Structure 1
Amino acid sequence: MDEAFYEKARPAIRSLMDDVSGTLIPGMTGIASSEGKVVEGLADIIRESDKAGELSTIFSRTSEAVDNLNPGLRSVVESFLRLSDGTSQYLPRAASYFSDMASKFADWVDKTRATGEIVASMKQVVEQAGYLKDSFKGVWGIATGLYSALAESQNGLEGSARL
């Protein structure tokens, strides 16, 4: 099976790598450097969590959860296999629809890129996202204030009843 795939794919991949290596290597090196910084920061956070005893609890509860998932996942997989057996006849047609939509999407991108419409739309998206961020910050402030008030009463339900 591997040979059937790689007979065509290997030369195409090698040719592509030769063609784009001048751009690909510096680009991927920059991404790898940034990813390394992210991993370094995450490692520090995980190390602190371990020191606080959180990791062992997480692993223990996750193990229990995975054990509990076994019967349900088996049922889901069995059901999907039975469903797929009966509906796989539609896969070629669905793949054709997907390819057609992908081609239309590519045409739309080219058109909107050429007209500048996509840049104008993205500017509006960024502006609206700023408004959304401000709204979330407001809701967060309200929730934080409510939680703080409940926490001061030590017992949230009892404290709410007194309000």
Structure 2
Amino acid sequence: MSATQIAAADRCTRQVWMTLLAKAPLAELERHWAVIARPKFQWIRRPEYGATMLRGAVGRTGAVFNLGEATVTRCTLQIETGEIGIAYVLGRNKRHAALAALFDALMQRDLATRTGAIAPVIAALDQYLREAERAVRCETQRSKVDFFMLGREANGDDR
């Protein structure tokens, strides 16, 4: 692992990579899972469905209110070297939660051992999600409609 890769991995906090793993499509996780060495692991909590309360705040800083509930899938596992991986994924996808937890544990192992096997996977997921967001923004911008009002003609009548 190069010094640049180590510095980049150190800047990527666990919160950041767990968010990327939760947001990434299952197909992307499967694609990366197919090319890495598979660790032995044991379940601490097998993937299971649950619910979480979505909360909002008026104007982002005002009074907090309950918006509604959303289904989540969560799991916890421990890989053979002792790292514990955790995942919470929006929706009902046990495979997605399991892979996210495995990548979480492997990323922790990478940071501890400085091997750098999983950091490129996290970087690729980050790039994929940025490109997907950029495509959505471009599509939204193309379909944007500007509404405007024509000013009243100056005829001396202000009614």
TM class by shorter chain equals under 0.3
More strand by share: 2
More helix by share: 1
Larger radius of gyration: 1
With a CA cutoff of 8 Å and minimum separation of 6, indicate the structure with the bigger relative contact order.
2
Normalised TM-score (structure 1):
0.25
